[in-house]
Amino acid sequence: MSIISTVSKFVKKEWFLSCMFLAIGLATLFPLVGKSGGSLHIDQVAGIGIGLVFFLHGMGLSLDNLKSGMLNWRIHLVVQSFTFLVFPIIYFIANFFVKGWLPNDLLLGFVYLCALPSTVSSSVALTGIAKGNISAAIFNATLSGLIGIVLTPIIVHLLSGEDSGSLSLPDAILGIAKLLLLPLVLGQLLRPLLIKQYTKYKAYTSNLDRFVILMLIFNAFSDSVESGLWRNNSVYVLVEAFVGALILLIIVLYLSKYAAKAMAFNTEDEIAAVFCGSKKTLASGIPMAKLIFGAHPGLGLIMLPIIFYHQVQLIVCSYLANKYRAR
């Protein structure tokens, strides 16, 4: 009974993580249901959901908050350098040691993870918990997302050495802009007209992005299972993805804190730099993967590193945020 109680508490506390693994399990058992063009047409429903999620992100984005964090250029330099330069360099070096040991599609997943922009919600939330520079966190997380529309597919292309999906590099960038940027801009333009309604119903839409991510994971893994994901790989690939994500996070946290100290940041700026510079977005990462890699048969495996990194960064950085807060 105690084991059941423990599992029940874990599922309630970590319902999103539990549902991600449930989505992978369901995709393994019922791939015909979740695959693209399957009976539920999840790929089409999720596509509509992505547009709605980023429309709401645009609606909730305050330009006043962005303006107040704009002038601290040294934080911006550190955060954006880590997001789009240090991460890829770490992969480039690590690849010499792990190539041949890990499945190629999993390696491509780590390429993709290292190319992704920072995440807005957890970066800002954890910076707030740690009593850091929130305005700088908001500005950098938002800027990172916009830069990532162009740089993420370029970095993937450079590190992988080829176009990794069915789309050319320019088409991938244009597709990401249409998928993520267009609804974001539309939401921002309509913010003055709809902000009262948005604020009123925000509680009901707060988990929409997570449900859309779950649909995308179910769809991607269903396609990959149909293409032989588990016939060609063992379950140990899950352990490899988790360990790789954890090691990567530890390295980046150490380096970002060292960089903040070297730049003589005060504690508030250090917190923003560490939390924004070490984060990678799941909310944008999953839909962007569908565009960049197209109908790649290993898409499920490619997504594994960001799925694990997302959860590991929340757990580790929540602990660090509370340590900073107690200073």
**What residue type is assigned to position 129 of the chain?**
I
- Residue 175 counted as domain residue: yes
Residue 102, beta-bridge partner list: 99
Give one DSSP letter per residue of 204-260, joined into a string: HHTTHHHHHHHHHHHHHHHHHHHTTHHHHS-THHHHHHHHHHHHHHHHHHHHHHHHH
What's the first-to-final CA gap in the chain, in angstroms?
40
- Which range marks the domain in which residue 206 is found? 38-325
- Residue 195 counted as domain residue: yes
- Residue 14 counted as domain residue: no
CA distance 223 to 226: 5
- Residue 6 counted as domain residue: no
- Report the predicted TM-score, pTM, of the whole model to 2 decimal places: 0.87
Please give the tally of structural domains in the chain: 1
- Residue 211 counted as domain residue: yes
Tens digit of pLDDT per residue, the chain (327 long)?
567 777 778 778 778 888 888 998 998 899 998 888 888 888 888 888 888 888 988 888 888 777 777 778 899 999 999 999 999 999 999 998 888 888 899 999 999 999 999 988 788 888 988 999 988 998 998 999 999 999 999 999 999 875 555 557 788 888 888 888 899 899 999 999 988 888 888 877 777 888 888 888 888 888 888 877 777 777 789 899 999 999 999 999 999 999 999 999 999 999 999 999 999 999 889 889 988 887 788 888 999 999 999 989 988 999 999 898 886
222 and 35 in contact (C-beta within 8 Å)?
A: yes
C-alpha radius of gyration, the chain, whole number: 19
CA distance 50 to 48: 5
- Residue 20 counted as domain residue: no
What CATH number did the domain enclosing 229 receive?
Answer: 1.20.1530.20
CA distance 254 to 209: 30
- Residue 27 counted as domain residue: no
- Residue 273 counted as domain residue: yes
CA distance 278 to 256: 7
User: Quick one: tokens of 218?
Assistant: 């179910």
